[in-house]
Protein backbone atom coordinates (compact mmCIF):
# COMPACT_ATOMS: atom_id res chain seq x y z
CA UNK A 1 0.00 0.00 0.00
CA UNK A 2 1.34 3.42 -0.93
CA UNK A 3 0.53 6.48 1.10
CA UNK A 4 0.28 9.85 -0.59
CA UNK A 5 0.24 13.13 1.19
CA UNK A 6 -0.17 16.73 0.15
CA UNK A 7 2.13 17.88 2.93
CA UNK A 8 5.33 19.49 1.66
CA UNK A 9 8.59 17.75 2.53
CA UNK A 10 9.88 18.59 5.99
CA UNK A 11 12.23 21.56 5.98
CA UNK A 12 14.85 22.11 8.59
CA UNK A 13 14.39 25.40 10.37
CA UNK A 14 17.48 27.51 10.86
CA UNK A 15 19.27 26.51 14.03
CA UNK A 16 19.90 29.35 16.45
CA UNK A 17 22.77 28.47 18.71
CA UNK A 18 23.43 30.68 21.73
CA UNK A 19 27.04 31.04 22.82
CA UNK A 20 27.42 32.04 26.46
CA UNK A 21 30.26 33.83 28.19
CA UNK A 22 33.38 31.63 28.30
CA UNK A 23 31.80 29.33 25.74
CA UNK A 24 32.05 28.40 22.06
CA UNK A 25 29.93 26.57 19.51
CA UNK A 26 30.17 25.19 15.99
CA UNK A 27 27.41 25.30 13.40
CA UNK A 28 26.71 24.48 9.77
CA UNK A 29 25.35 26.50 6.87
CA UNK A 30 21.85 26.49 8.38
CA UNK A 31 23.01 27.77 11.77
CA UNK A 32 23.08 31.22 13.28
CA UNK A 33 25.51 31.48 16.18
CA UNK A 34 24.94 34.37 18.56
CA UNK A 35 26.36 35.88 21.71
CA UNK A 36 25.65 39.00 23.71
CA UNK A 37 27.21 40.97 26.52
CA UNK A 38 30.58 41.50 24.89
CA UNK A 39 32.28 44.27 26.84
CA UNK A 40 35.98 43.67 27.38
CA UNK A 41 35.43 40.08 26.21
CA UNK A 42 36.25 39.29 22.61
CA UNK A 43 34.09 37.43 20.12
CA UNK A 44 36.04 35.27 17.69
CA UNK A 45 34.06 34.26 14.61
CA UNK A 46 35.58 31.61 12.33
CA UNK A 47 34.23 30.41 9.00
CA UNK A 48 35.12 27.83 6.34
CA UNK A 49 32.99 28.78 3.35
CA UNK A 50 33.67 25.65 1.31
CA UNK A 51 32.66 23.27 4.13
CA UNK A 52 29.86 25.55 5.36
CA UNK A 53 31.18 25.28 8.93
CA UNK A 54 31.17 28.25 11.29
CA UNK A 55 32.32 28.74 14.86
CA UNK A 56 31.94 31.43 17.49
CA UNK A 57 33.76 31.88 20.79
CA UNK A 58 33.09 34.40 23.60
CA UNK A 59 36.38 34.62 25.54
CA UNK A 60 36.91 36.63 28.73
CA UNK A 61 40.67 36.76 29.34
CA UNK A 62 43.76 36.74 27.12
CA UNK A 63 45.82 33.71 28.14
CA UNK A 64 44.96 30.45 29.82
CA UNK A 65 47.32 27.82 28.48
CA UNK A 66 47.34 24.89 30.87
CA UNK A 67 44.06 25.85 32.55
CA UNK A 68 40.97 23.67 32.45
CA UNK A 69 38.30 26.12 31.24
CA UNK A 70 39.63 26.51 27.71
CA UNK A 71 36.71 28.61 26.40
CA UNK A 72 37.33 31.28 29.06
CA UNK A 73 40.69 32.31 27.57
CA UNK A 74 41.32 33.72 24.09
CA UNK A 75 44.35 31.61 23.21
CA UNK A 76 42.88 28.27 24.27
CA UNK A 77 39.38 29.11 22.97
CA UNK A 78 40.75 29.69 19.46
CA UNK A 79 42.57 26.34 19.51
CA UNK A 80 39.54 24.46 20.87
CA UNK A 81 37.20 26.11 18.37
CA UNK A 82 39.42 25.16 15.43
CA UNK A 83 39.66 21.55 16.61
CA UNK A 84 35.86 21.39 16.96
CA UNK A 85 35.37 22.91 13.49
CA UNK A 86 37.82 20.44 11.96
CA UNK A 87 35.86 17.64 13.62
CA UNK A 88 32.76 18.94 11.83
CA UNK A 89 34.50 18.96 8.44
CA UNK A 90 36.26 22.34 8.22
CA UNK A 91 39.82 22.69 6.96
CA UNK A 92 42.23 24.89 8.91
CA UNK A 93 43.68 26.09 5.58
CA UNK A 94 40.32 27.60 4.58
CA UNK A 95 39.23 29.10 7.91
CA UNK A 96 38.91 32.90 8.02
CA UNK A 97 38.31 35.04 11.11
CA UNK A 98 36.44 38.13 12.25
CA UNK A 99 36.81 39.76 15.68
CA UNK A 100 34.51 41.98 17.73
CA UNK A 101 34.51 43.28 21.29
CA UNK A 102 37.51 44.11 23.43
CA UNK A 103 36.08 47.37 24.73
CA UNK A 104 37.52 49.41 27.55
CA UNK A 105 34.47 49.41 29.77
CA UNK A 106 36.03 51.01 32.85
CA UNK A 107 38.78 53.58 33.25
CA UNK A 108 41.52 52.87 35.76
CA UNK A 109 44.41 55.06 36.89
CA UNK A 110 46.91 52.66 35.36
CA UNK A 111 49.19 52.80 32.37
CA UNK A 112 48.60 49.08 31.68
CA UNK A 113 46.57 48.03 28.69
CA UNK A 114 42.93 47.31 29.39
CA UNK A 115 41.66 43.72 29.49
CA UNK A 116 39.82 44.43 26.23
CA UNK A 117 43.02 45.56 24.49
CA UNK A 118 44.88 42.51 25.77
CA UNK A 119 42.07 40.19 24.61
CA UNK A 120 42.16 41.63 21.09
CA UNK A 121 45.97 41.40 20.99
CA UNK A 122 45.84 37.77 22.16
CA UNK A 123 43.26 36.93 19.46
CA UNK A 124 45.34 38.57 16.73
CA UNK A 125 48.55 36.84 17.90
CA UNK A 126 46.93 33.40 18.20
CA UNK A 127 45.25 33.61 14.79
CA UNK A 128 48.46 34.88 13.17
CA UNK A 129 50.45 32.01 14.72
CA UNK A 130 47.92 29.54 13.28
CA UNK A 131 47.96 31.16 9.83
CA UNK A 132 44.31 32.22 9.97
CA UNK A 133 43.63 35.55 8.24
CA UNK A 134 41.41 38.16 9.89
CA UNK A 135 38.90 39.55 7.39
CA UNK A 136 37.24 42.15 9.61
CA UNK A 137 37.18 43.66 13.07
CA UNK A 138 34.97 45.81 15.25
CA UNK A 139 37.07 46.15 18.38
CA UNK A 140 37.88 48.64 21.09
CA UNK A 141 35.82 51.62 22.09
CA UNK A 142 33.79 51.86 25.27
CA UNK A 143 30.54 50.11 24.36
CA UNK A 144 29.14 46.62 24.56
CA UNK A 145 28.23 44.47 21.58
CA UNK A 146 26.05 41.54 20.56
CA UNK A 147 27.00 39.27 17.67
CA UNK A 148 25.29 36.93 15.26
CA UNK A 149 27.29 34.79 12.83
CA UNK A 150 25.39 33.63 9.74
CA UNK A 151 26.49 30.09 8.91
CA UNK A 152 25.33 30.39 5.29
CA UNK A 153 27.41 33.46 4.44
CA UNK A 154 30.01 33.95 7.18
CA UNK A 155 28.63 37.45 7.79
CA UNK A 156 29.13 38.67 11.34
CA UNK A 157 26.33 41.04 12.38
CA UNK A 158 27.45 43.37 15.18
CA UNK A 159 24.88 45.27 17.27
CA UNK A 160 25.53 47.96 19.83
CA UNK A 161 23.16 50.37 21.56
CA UNK A 162 25.59 53.25 21.11
CA UNK A 163 27.23 52.35 17.78
CA UNK A 164 24.31 50.88 15.85
CA UNK A 165 24.29 47.74 13.72
CA UNK A 166 26.62 46.73 10.92
CA UNK A 167 28.01 43.64 9.21
CA UNK A 168 31.59 42.43 8.92
Look at the chain and report how many structural domains it folds into. 1
Mean of pLDDT values over 60-88: 91
Split at pLDDT 50, 70, 90, the class of 72 is very high
Q: What pLDDT is recorded for position 110?
A: 56
Q: Does 100 reside within a domain?
A: yes
Q: Cα separations (Å) of 25 from 71, 104, 107, 117, 130?
A: 10, 25, 32, 24, 19
Question: Would you say residue 119 lies in a domain?
Answer: yes
Residue 6 belongs to a domain: no
Residue 7 lies in a domain: no
Active site residues per annotation: 41
Task: Tell me whether residue 67 is in a domain.
Answer: yes
The pLDDT, as a whole number, for residue 1 is 37
* Torsion angles phi and psi, residue 3, rounded to 5: -115, 130
User: 129-151, pLDDT tens digit by residue?
Assistant: 999 999 999 999 999 999 999 99
Is a pLDDT exceeding 60 seen at residue 97? yes
Mean pLDDT of 51-56: 97
Residue 1 lies inside a defined structural domain of this protein: no
CATH code, domain carrying 59: 3.30.1330.200
pLDDT at 9 exceeding the cut of 70: no
In a domain, 2, yes or no: no
93/111 Cα distance (integer angstroms): 38
What pLDDT band is residue 40 in, cutting at 50, 70 and 90? Answer: very high
Sign of the alpha-carbon torsion through 93, 119, 66, 77: negative
Query: What's the rounded Cα separation, in Å, for the pair 54 and 166?
Result: 19
Q: Is it the case that residue 74 has pLDDT exceeding 80?
A: yes
Residue 77 forms part of a structural domain? yes
Give the range of the structural domain holding residue 146, as residue numbers without chain letter: 15-167
Amino acid sequence: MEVYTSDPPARRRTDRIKVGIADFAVGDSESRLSTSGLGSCVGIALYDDRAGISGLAHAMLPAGEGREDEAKYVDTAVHALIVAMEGAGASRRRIRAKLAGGSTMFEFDSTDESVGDRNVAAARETLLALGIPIDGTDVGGDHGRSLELDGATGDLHVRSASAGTHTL
